[in-house]
Structure 1
Amino acid sequence: MPPPADTRALNSVLHTIAVCRIRDGGRGQDYCLRKISEGKTPSEARRALKRRLSNVVYRIMKRDLRNHLAQAA
């Protein structure tokens, strides 16, 4: 069964962010180069960066939810 459309859309957004971070230099590119030097393929390094980005997004969403619930109480 294919993933829901919103999952595909989120994956597409994470992919775009990861590709831009790698292309534009900085911490994203450093992270990917470190993964490649550890023996990962470029695709695996990009996947690891996407996972790291998704963790950041998840933490922000949880924080925003906590703040919203605290204000509503």
Structure 2
Amino acid sequence: MPGCGVLGAAMILGETAGAARFRSKDAFARFNGTAPIPVWSSNKVRVRLNRGGNRTINTALHMAAVTQTRGDGEGAVYYARRLAAGKTPKEALRLLRRRISDRVYRALLTDEIARSQQHDIEQPCAA
């Protein structure tokens, strides 16, 4: 994934301990702290940055998001689109980080499924 280097990937893999333990991408986002917290202090719909969750994974996702905004790839286009929609730079970066979290969850889950299927094929059947 663009923006996620070897160190960031190792931090995510080490702290996640298997993506299959999460029931959805939303549960994974809640675990890593990228799920927003709704604020109901008025009639205006707003969300606040989640300061909880696993800070190690959140740091790796933040590094990937900042790296993607500096390039000219998909992340930079998404970030620019959010800024054009009236979001502040912090909000746009938070939204990009959540989007990266969803992509990481899908990649981890796909990898685990492929690894388990390969493991099932390699084991001989006992007769």
On whether the aligned pair clears a TM of 0.5, the verdict is: yes
Aligned-residue identity in percent:
39
Number of matched pairs:
70
The one of 53, 57, 65 equivalent to 2:100 is 53
Per residue, is there more strand in 1 or in 2? 2
Note if 1:18 corresponds to 2:65: yes
Structure 2: 5+ residue stretches without partners: 1-50, 121-127
TM-align CA RMSD: 1.6
Q: Which has the higher helix share?
A: 1
TM-score (norm 1): 0.85
What are structure 1's unaligned runs of at least 5 residues? none
- How far, CA to CA, are the matches of 1:71 and 1:49 in structure 2? 33
Superposed CA deviations along residues 12-47 of structure 1, whole A, max 9, x for unmatched, are: 011111111111222211111100111111111001
Bigger-Rg structure (1/2) = 2
User: Which residue of structure 2 aligns with residue 42 of structure 1?
Assistant: 89
Higher RCO (CA 8 Å, separation ≥ 6 residues):
2
Runs of 4+ in 1 over 2 A off after TM superposition: none
2:22 is the alignment partner of 1:8:
no
Compute the TM-score of the two structures, normalised by the length of structure 2: 0.51
